[in-house]
Amino acid sequence: MANPLYDRLFGIHAGKSKPFLLLEDGTPISYRAFLATTAQLAHVLVNHGLKPDDRVAVQVEKSPEALALYGACVQAGLVFLPLNTAYTSEELAYFLENSGASLLVCDGAKADQLRLLAEGSGVLLETLNGGGSGSLMGEASAQPSTFTTVDRDLQDLAAFLYTSGTTGRSKGAMLTQDNLLSNADVLVDYWRFSEEDVLLHALPIFHTHGLFVASNVILAVGGSMIFLPKFDQDAIVERLPQATSMMGVPTFYTRLLGDDRFTKELTTHMRLFTSGSAPLLADTHRQFEQRTGHRILERYGMTETNMNTSNPYDGERRAGTVGFPLPGVELKITDPESGVELQKGSIGVIEIRGRNVFKGYWQMPEKTATELREDGFFITGDMGKIDEDGYVHIVGRNKDLIISGGYNIYPKEIELVLDEQPGVLESAVIGVPHTDFGEAPLGLIVPEKDHAPDLDQIMASVKQRLARFKHPQKLLLIDNLPRNTMGKVQKNILRERYSERV
Ligand code: MCA
Ligand code: AMP
């Protein structure tokens, strides 16, 4: 019996004194020490009565202990459910209720606020602070540093990651051990990761990019990570010389290009920079090459599918494209209406099939059925084409989605809040260009007849209810929303009209 994900990513490193994590202040954490923490945390989880497949919701700052909690869930056969630290209590209440989580681990500073919420839903509460203190580690430190790994099958669940939806309600994407392990293996080969690698890790660990793409790949090869709490230019400039590779969202690279300290000399020993989660402008790609001599390797993925395509390691990394389908990933372009596969060169919806594709949305069989075909193809909602050389281009989205600094924002979620406000007849939220984050939301509000809604008041309400990154840059009052003959709001017209207004 075995637990493939634990055995291959974690267990294999048992006893190694090699540093797994190098913290911001230079402190190394060996694989041995990291796995001891993982085992201690696994004891705490099972001592709380958690059983295989139970969900562990985690909203904490990035820390070695937070990453060990992921390992502990895998080792104990539990489902790890990481949550963006920016989510408000109202957003959190939904995730707890929808997932049926047994335990919530949160920052101590939020414990009082969340205790009522947790108790009301019968959820246990533990705290874990950014520095590693809190009730969870307090209990863990008294536990043995080895744990008998719980048997799991490749098709068993390993994690739930919530992705927003066009209806405004988030959906829990169920990811199996096989989804995660197969993708990590493919990326290791495709991007030539080895135990010599030292990855500069500045991404959050509550999303696929920082948690699975970055951490799983390094765990799979037994490399090291310079583990920064967040993207901080000073720390990046200081630590780059000790790294071999870095993964980022486009905002990382535009910010670095705006920093005079980011020079060719600083990057000469680097072997790989990757970008994803949002489109990398071809111009950023070119400027990066001019400055450093490195061509950023752009890849394309989704929460539901992990990584789908990548530019090649050795061949031409073509700016403005996301490269080729990864080995084992089938990609086709289909007509958005009929679902029929289109010819090479035609623009349509990107569909994906492979071991990387998730199992479905938690307790949402209807949503699963509309996006995951019976033959296994997942309808991504991204519009793209395959060019004559086989490179995949993403040309737009068939879903109403804004990507801000690599975070997804579904306009519907903001519109629902705006529509509830006094004096508001209806609203539309659109994505407008933003120099730092790529895109940002703009809220357009149509007042009820003879009403003058208080925009400051409305913004205050949005701030209280929605995560910071979803806050519109601005709210504007407009007379009406343009609609097509079917009554659908024509957001393309709004984007043309209001793009310059923020
Ligand atoms: C921070 N703020 C943001 C964002 N991030 N607002 C909009 N969009 C954002 N992405 C807010 C802050 O709360 C702050 O508010 C203000 O903007 C300025 O913050 P600043 O300090 O400049 O930002 P930061 O903390 O440096 O963060 C920017 C960031 C960060 C480094 C780009 O957003 C980030 O790490 N993004 C990575 C996201 C990611 O990992 N995505 C992967 C998803 P205030 O001033 O009020 O305090 S996985 C995925 O998409 C798929 C699978 C894939 O393909 O990878
Ligand atoms: P998420 O739901 O957070 O996993 O975000 C997935 C979405 O991010 C995809 O459906 C794409 O729209 C977008 N995305 C990820 N990587 C890229 C990329 N390299 N270029 C353009 N869009 C991307």
Question: Domain with 443 in it: what CATH number?
Answer: 3.30.300.30
225, part of any domain: no
Tell me whether residue 285 is in a domain.
Answer: yes
> How far apart are the C-alpha atoms of 282 and 284, rounded to whole Å?
5
Give the number of whichever ligand sits closest to the CA of residue 166: 2
Question: Is residue 434 one of the residues assigned to a domain?
Answer: yes
| Atom nearest to 300 CA in ligand 1 | 54
Question: For the chain, how many helices (H) and strands (E)?
Answer: 17, 25
Tell me the best of 300, 326, 378 to mutate to test the pocket of ligand 2, counting ligand atoms within 8 Å of each CB and taking the most: 300
| Same domain (yes/no): 376, 419 | no
Q: Are residues 50 and 103 in the same domain?
A: yes
Range of the domain at 277: 249-397
Of the candidates 51, 88, 54, 83, the residue with the CA atom closest to the CA atom of residue 66: 83
Which of 282, 201, 186 is closest to 245 using CA atoms?
201
| Ligand 1 pocket test target in 164, 251, 308 with most atoms within 8 Å of CB | 251
| Cα(409) to centroid(ligand 1), Å | 12
Residues 171 and 67 reside in one and the same domain: yes
Question: Which pTM was predicted?
Answer: 0.96
One pLDDT digit (tens) per residue for the chain, 502 residues: 799 999 999 999 999 999 999 999 999 999 999 999 999 999 999 999 999 999 999 999 999 999 999 999 999 999 999 999 999 999 999 999 999 999 999 999 999 999 999 988 899 999 999 999 999 999 999 999 999 999 999 999 999 999 987 777 899 999 999 999 999 999 999 999 999 999 999 999 999 999 999 999 999 999 999 999 999 999 999 999 999 999 999 999 999 999 999 999 999 999 999 999 999 999 999 999 999 999 999 999 999 999 999 999 999 999 999 999 999 999 999 999 999 999 999 999 999 999 999 999 999 999 999 999 999 999 999 999 999 999 999 999 998 999 999 999 999 999 999 999 999 999 999 999 999 999 999 999 999 999 999 999 999 999 999 999 999 999 999 999 999 988 889 999 999 999 876 6
- Element holding 97 (H helix, E strand): helix 89-99
Domain count across the chain: 3
Is residue 321 a contact partner of residue 276, using CB atoms and an 8 Å limit? no
Asked whether residue 200 is domain-assigned, the answer is: no
CATH label of the domain that carries residue 50: 3.40.50.12780
Specify whether 416 is located in the same domain as 374. no
